[in-house]
Amino acid sequence: MSSSAFPRPIATTRSATGISTGKLAVWWLIASEIVIFGGVLGSYIMHRIGHPEWASQAEHTNTWLGAFNTIVLLSSSLSAVLAHNAAEMKDGKKAAKFLWFTILGAATFLVVKSFEWTHEINAGLTITSHTFWSFYYTAAGIHGLHVLVGGIIMAVIAVDAAKGKDLQRVEAVGLYWHFVDIVWIFLFPLLYISK
Amino acid sequence: MSDPHAPHADHSKHYIKIWIALLVLLMVSLVPAIIAQQLHLNITGIVVVTAFAVAFIKAYLVIKHFMHLTIEKKYVGFLFLTMLAFMLVFVGGVSPDVMKHEGQRWTNDAAKKVVDEGMKAEKAGGHGEPEKH
């Protein structure tokens, strides 16, 4: 079969449901993520209410580093939506530039998290030391994995966007990124402020 | 407010304003926590309520202005509400067992023991002690 028969990835741009299929797939992905993160965070909240003594463990989390990472993620969400804005104006190069800024935010977030975890693990606060830390490393770890995966996907899309190719993907990856940001918006008060 | 999906329109300034609002809200959630920490005040209720109220407002701003969910096809919103309903069913079903350690005809002795020991350790200044099972 010649490639000219299917010159574009139809599945990502058609819109039988009123939403382009690629974007609809991301909405479904986010819907599944709500259950994943909702399950972890819901379990944490219930345990935290049932175990007031966990407050003494939560005192060890670093509020300043958590706040710094919140600023980083909120700023990376801004650059993601600015990339979408540029893509809407068919400016692929500008969209790619903003996506790289978002990737820089993702990298900064992960570096800060690594520093934070190293410090905590060296202090004996490991995933097996207390149930609080089991939840802490699980919730923040799953979130960190999403940041890493988002950064990698964004790099692939940024390379294409710079060539003006498949600009509709810029919005799709942006939606995913904003969801990752929202998860952190709730993780921050749960793990760093409620002490 | 202009339609953020209008073709070829530049909405950069609008997005920057939302970002500034998000940063201001972050500061609002931090202030009670910092005051409580610096002055050693026992205002945990105020700190937690403020932090979560701000978190919901921040999430709303991101969903509305960055994800544009409010102008998306309505079934996407219903899809998310369905997922949140699943979460409520899960939490509603499990919470009595997890959050309470005794009822009219039952008691969770192991959980009560862990809480009692933890609270005693906290009073004795034993922060960071590993859990004993």
| Residues A37, B62, B69, A194, Cα dihedral to 10° | 30
Which amino acid is located at B48 in the chain?
V
Cα–chain center distance at A75: 12
The stretch A160-171 carries a mean pLDDT of: 95
ipTM for the whole predicted complex goes beyond 0.85: yes
pLDDT for B6 equals 54
Which amino acid is located at A124 in the chain?
G
Cβ distance A161 to A74 under 8 Å? no
Distance between CA atoms of residues B63 and A40, nearest Å = 21
Give me the domain span that covers residue B29.
8-72
| Domain range summary for chain A, segments of one domain joined by + | 18-193
pLDDT for A170 equals 96
pLDDT tens digit at each of 133 positions of chain B: 445 455 568 899 999 999 999 999 999 999 999 999 889 888 989 999 999 999 999 999 999 999 999 999 999 999 999 999 999 999 999 998 899 999 888 899 999 998 998 888 877 765 544 554 4
Phi-psi group of A2: left, alpha or beta (phi > 0 → left; psi -120 to 50 → alpha; rest → beta) = beta
Smallest Cβ distance to B51: which of A45, A55, A193?
A: A193
Yes or no, beta carbons of B91 and A42 under 8 Å apart: yes
| CA-atom Rg of chain A in angstroms | 19
Yes or no, beta carbons of B30 and A181 under 8 Å apart: no
Q: What percent of chain A has pLDDT over 90?
A: 86
C-alpha count within 13 angstroms, C-beta hemisphere, residue B123: 6
Output the CA–CA distances (angstroms, integers) from residue A27 to A12, A176, B55, B133, in the order listed: 13, 8, 22, 42
Distance from CA of A3 to the nearest CA of B (A): 31
Distance between CA atoms of residues A139 and A187, nearest Å = 8
A-chain residue closest to B62, CA distance? A178
Yes or no, beta carbons of B121 and A53 under 8 Å apart: yes
Smallest Cβ distance to A81: which of B15, B33, B86?
A: B15
The 3-class SS string of B81-95 reads HHHHHHHHHHHHHHH
Q: What percent of chain A has pLDDT over 70?
A: 93
Distance from CA of B71 to the nearest CA of A (A): 12
The answer to the question of residue B24 being in a domain is: yes
Q: How many cross-chain Cβ pairs, A to B, lie less than 8 Å apart?
A: 166
Cβ distance A177 to A148 under 8 Å? no
pLDDT for A171 equals 95
Statement: A18-193 belongs to CATH 1.20.120.80: yes
What are residue B102's DSSP bridge partners? B107
Does the pLDDT at position A5 exceed 90? Answer: no
Yes or no, beta carbons of A185 and B55 under 8 Å apart: yes
pLDDT for B13 equals 96
pLDDT for A1 equals 45
Smallest Cβ distance to A31: which of B63, B79, B94?
A: B79
A14-26 tens-digit pLDDT: 777 888 889 999 9
The 3-class SS string of A7-35 reads CCCHHHHCCCCCCCHHHHHHHHHHHHHHH
Distance from CA of B43 to the nearest CA of A (A): 10
Which amino acid is located at A49 in the chain?
I
C-alpha count within 13 angstroms, C-beta hemisphere, residue A12: 14
Q: What is the helix (H) or strand (E) element at residue A171, kind and residue range?
A: helix A168-188
B-chain residue closest to A187, CA distance? B55
The answer to the question of residue B90 being in a domain is: no
Substitution target in A54, A97, A135, A178 with the highest count of B β-carbons within 10 Å is: A178
Substitution target in A90, A193, A194, A195 with the highest count of B β-carbons within 10 Å is: A193
A52-102 tens-digit pLDDT: 999 899 999 999 999 999 999 999 999 999 999 999 999 999 999 999 999
Smallest Cβ distance to A51: which of B48, B65, B115?
A: B115
Distance from CA of A77 to the nearest CA of B (A): 8
Domain count, chain B: 1
Substitution target in B40, B71, B98, B116 with the highest count of A β-carbons within 10 Å is: B98
Which amino acid is located at A113 in the chain?
K
Contacts A49 to B, Cβ<8 Å = 99
